[in-house]
Structure 1
Amino acid sequence: MLPFFDGNDYNEWKVKMTSFIQSLDYNLWDIIVFGLEMPKETISKTRMRYDEKEKEIMKVNAKPKHVIFCALSSNEFDNISSFYSEKVIWDKLEEMHKEKNVEKTTTCLMALEKNENESDEDDARKGENEVSYDDFVDDVDRYTLIISTLQNMIKFFTVENNELKMSISSMNENESKKGEMGLLKKENSCLFKENE
C-alpha cells in the first residue's frame, strides 16, 4: 500500500516511502537519490524525434515521479508540482520538512529543558526534606526521650495533685472539727451559765 503524506510526520513517511519505492524497483530509488540524466539535445528536437533509448529514459524518469505525486496530499503536491526532476522533488520535500522538523525539535528541546529544570528544582526541594537514616534515628530517640520525660512529669503532677487534694480535705476536716468544737464550747459555756 502506497504511504500517503499529508504534511505530518515527514520522517515516518520518508522511511515508509523509501521502503515502498525500493520494493517496487530499486532502480527507481536510485533515480530519486542520484537523479537521471535526461537526453541532451544539441539540436532542439521534439519528443516525437526521440529514439527508443531516449524514450525509455523518459519513461523510467516518469515512474518515480508518478509514485511520489500519488503519495502526496493536495497541499504537498502544490508545493512541489512545478519541479521536473524526481530527485529535486524528493530533495525539496526533505528541505521543506527539515525546517518544520527543526522547529518542532527546537520546541521539544525547549519543553524538555524546561521540564528538566522543573524536575531539578523538585529534586532540590525533595533533597531539602530528605533525612539520613542516622539523623532519623537521632530524631526518634530525642522525641522518645521528650515523651518519656512528659509522661514522668504527668505522673509526678498527678501524685502531687492527689496529695494536695488530701491535704485540702484534711484541712477542711480540721476546720470543720474546730468549728464543731467551737460550737460545743459555746454550748458548754451556755449550759454552765444556766447551771450557775
Structure 2
Amino acid sequence: MENKGQAVNHPPLFKGTNYNYWKQRMITFFDACHIDMWDFVEHGNYIPLDDAGRELPKAHWNEEQKHRFILNSKAQNALICALIEEEYTKVHNFKSAKQMWDTLALTYEGSLEVKCNKLILLVHKYELFEMEENESIQTMFGRFQTIINELSFLGRTYDNFDHIDKLLRSLPRKRRP
C-alpha cells in the first residue's frame, strides 16, 4: 500500500510555489528532527572561529563545536532533499543552512520593502473582504482564512473577536444572524 502522506523522515518538497505553506512545514520538520535544528537554520553560527575571526581547523574543535557543525550539516541536507533541482541550484554553493534558508526567503518573500507592500495590499483586502455572490459560506471562510494566514506570515495578526466580527459583517444581510 502506497503512503500518500508525508513521511516523518522526509522533508516536504518545494517546487517553487506555495512558499509560505512549505516554509511552515519545513520549520516543523526541523523541529521534529532535533530541538535545536531550527535555531541553527534561523540564526546560523555553526563554524567555530578563533579570537581573530578565522575558521578553526576541525582537529581543534571541541564536542560542542562538532555538534553544532553536525546540526548545520543535517539542516543543509534536509533543505537539499526538500528542493527540486531548479530550487537547489539557487542555494547549493552555500556553507550554512542559514544562508540557504535566507536566500530562499528573499527569493520568495522578497525584501522588506516588498513585504511591506504585500502587507498593505493584504490589510486592504482584509478590510474590504465580503462574501461574493453565490459563494458558499465554506468557500468564503476558506478565502478569509487564506488572507489571515498570509497576514500572519507577514507578522500582522488580529484577534479572534476581530475575525468573527469581520466575517459576520461580510455576510449579505439575508444571511446575518
Normalising by structure 1, what TM-score? Answer: 0.47
Residue correspondence of structure 1 range 177-192 to structure 2 within 5 A = none
Indicate the residue corresponding to 1:177 in structure 2. none
Matches of 2:68 and 2:109, distance apart in 1: 31
Q: Is the 8 A contact 2:13 2:22 kept in 1?
A: yes
CA RMSD of aligned residues (A): 3.1
Q: Is the 8 A contact 2:48 2:55 kept in 1?
A: no
Q: Is the 8 A contact 2:44 2:97 kept in 1?
A: yes
Q: Residue 65 of structure 1 is aligned with which of 73, 76, 79?
A: 76
Partner secondary structure for residue 36 of structure 2: helix
* 1:21 and 2:21 correspond: no
Q: Residue 85 of structure 2 is aligned with which of 64, 74, 77?
A: 74
Q: Residue 56 of structure 1 is aligned with which of 52, 58, 67?
A: 67
Matches of 2:109 and 2:66, distance apart in 1: 35
Residue 50 of structure 1, CA deviation:
2.8
Percentage identity across paired residues of the two chains? 25
Q: Is the 8 A contact 2:48 2:56 kept in 1?
A: no
Runs (5+) with no aligned partner, structure 2: 1-6, 126-131, 133-177
Q: Residue 85 of structure 1 is aligned with which of 96, 105, 113?
A: 96
Counterpart residue identity of residue 35, structure 2? Y
Counterpart residue identity of residue 43, structure 2? F
Quickly say closer, same or farther: Cα 1:44–1:73, change in 2 above 3 A: closer
Normalising by structure 2, what TM-score? Answer: 0.51
Indicate the residue corresponding to 1:190 in structure 2. none
Residue 61 of structure 1, CA deviation:
1.8
How many residue pairs get aligned? The number is 108
Residue 36 of structure 1, CA deviation:
2.2
Matches of 1:75 and 1:86, distance apart in 2: 18
Residue correspondence of structure 1 range 1-196 to structure 2 within 5 A = 1=7, 2-41=11-50, 46-47=57-58, 49-53=59-63, 54-99=65-110
Bigger proportion of residues as helix: 1
Partner secondary structure for residue 26 of structure 1: coil
Q: Which has the larger radius of gyration?
A: 1
Quickly say closer, same or farther: Cα 1:98–1:39, change in 2 above 3 A: same
Indicate the residue corresponding to 1:132 in structure 2. none
Matches of 2:18 and 2:107, distance apart in 1: 12
1:130-182 CA-partner distances (Å, limit 9, x unpaired)? xxxxxxxxxxxxxxxxxxxxxxxxxxxxxxxxxxxxxxxxxxxxxxxxxxxxx
